[in-house]
Amino acid sequence: MSSTSALHALPAAARTGVPARRRLCAWLALAIAAGLVAGLVTGPAGFSPRALWADLHGSDAALLLGQIRVPRTLGAALVGALLGLSGAIAQGVFRNPLADPYLLGSAAGAGLGAVLVLAAAALGGATISLATVVWIERFGLVSAAFVGALAGVSLTLMLARGAVHTLRLLLAGVVIGVLLGAISDLITVVSPDALRGKQAFMLGSTGFLGWQALALMTGGLALLIALARRYARALDALTLGEDSAISLGLDLGRVRLVLVLMLSLGTALAVSQAGLVAFVGLVAPHLVRRRAPGPHGWLMLASAAMGAALLLWADVISRALIAPEELPVGVVTAVLGGGYLVWLLKQRTRA
């Protein structure tokens, strides 16, 4: 059998799980649709269809829905989809179910970029106009977090000398994460005014998502889904082991590098727009594999949908639980995701 034929034959054994995957698709479609509706209904009064009905008859209805709730709700779904897809790629690349999108220094790099912008705005606040400070904090923060996330992964790749050796890559990611985190903490010591902004960024929020962010994330997600479909069979080959993958004709270094760049792009897009939302990228692939396992072509798409559903409902909970105040959405996902993993660990321990 040729290497190409072997690669195409790899997912054949997973066809027995088609009914389970169809059921999961139906449940995910229902959860996402319900989450979109719940996101539109949830506001300062909590989850209240009556309050929404009253708002729709007010003079600010177009502003409320068109500029606040609709982009925020759709944005939460897109951020979750990017994290879910990136998590599935990370777990496939490292063949480790505990891998998450923040593993290679992207989180620390994004945090450092955000802190640099916040510190610059705080230090320059006395000499530049208020409008400039607002522009730096809102638009410069997104750009700096995006560049910082990509820079963190780039430093990891440089330290690991590429993506050929996964253990070296993981160790480099830990080193870069610790180093960039320490630099970020040092900056907040020098500029304490940046600490509050850093905390808000680290806890995650969907409150500042707008139509421009949606357009950017939609384009990035479409590109990543297209690439994911192309490289799904390579991830299937990696599950057989490195030697088997090479024997099937896989250029291991090039494929891993492309996959690392893919998960880095997805993570950078999500983090730059919503901050560090915890556990979605880790838990979403777990839930898919537990309910309807399958080849990576299925796993990555389903993980994106699962991530969208998870973050949609986490955002609704964060807005409704202590309304009119809001909880950071990253705190909600951390509690729910951590609780799920603790429950899963207990289940496996008993088994």
The CATH fold of domain 3-10+28-350: ABC transporter involved in vitamin B12 uptake, BtuC (1.10.3470)
- What's the CA dihedral at 197, 198, 199, 200 to 10 degrees? 50
- What's the CA dihedral at 45, 46, 50, 51 to 10 degrees? 30
pTM: 0.88
Cα separation of 64 and 87, whole Å?
33
Average confidence score pLDDT of the chain: 84
Residue range 191-247, pLDDT digits in tens = 887 777 778 788 888 888 889 899 999 999 999 999 999 999 989 888 887 777 777
Identity (one letter) of the amino acid at 270? Answer: A
pLDDT at 129 over 90: no
Contact, 73 vs 36, CB < 8 A?
Answer: yes
Cα separation of 296 and 110, whole Å?
28
Find the mean pLDDT for residues 89-109: 90
Cα separation of 96 and 341, whole Å?
15
- Measured between alpha carbons, how far is residue 213 from residues 60, 153, 206, 220, 330 in Å? 22, 22, 11, 11, 19
Looking at residue 69, the DSSP 8-state letter turns out to be I
Higher pLDDT among residues 167 and 227, named by residue: 227
Per-residue confidence band for 61, with pLDDT thresholds at 50, 70 and 90: low
Sequence ranges of the domains in the chain: 3-10+28-350
Tokens representing 88 are 């599935």
Per-residue confidence band for 56, with pLDDT thresholds at 50, 70 and 90: low
Residue range 177-192, pLDDT digits in tens = 999 999 998 988 888 8
Looking at residue 97, the DSSP 8-state letter turns out to be T
Higher pLDDT among residues 60 and 9, named by residue: 60
Tokens representing 127 are 């000499």
Cα separation of 228 and 261, whole Å?
12
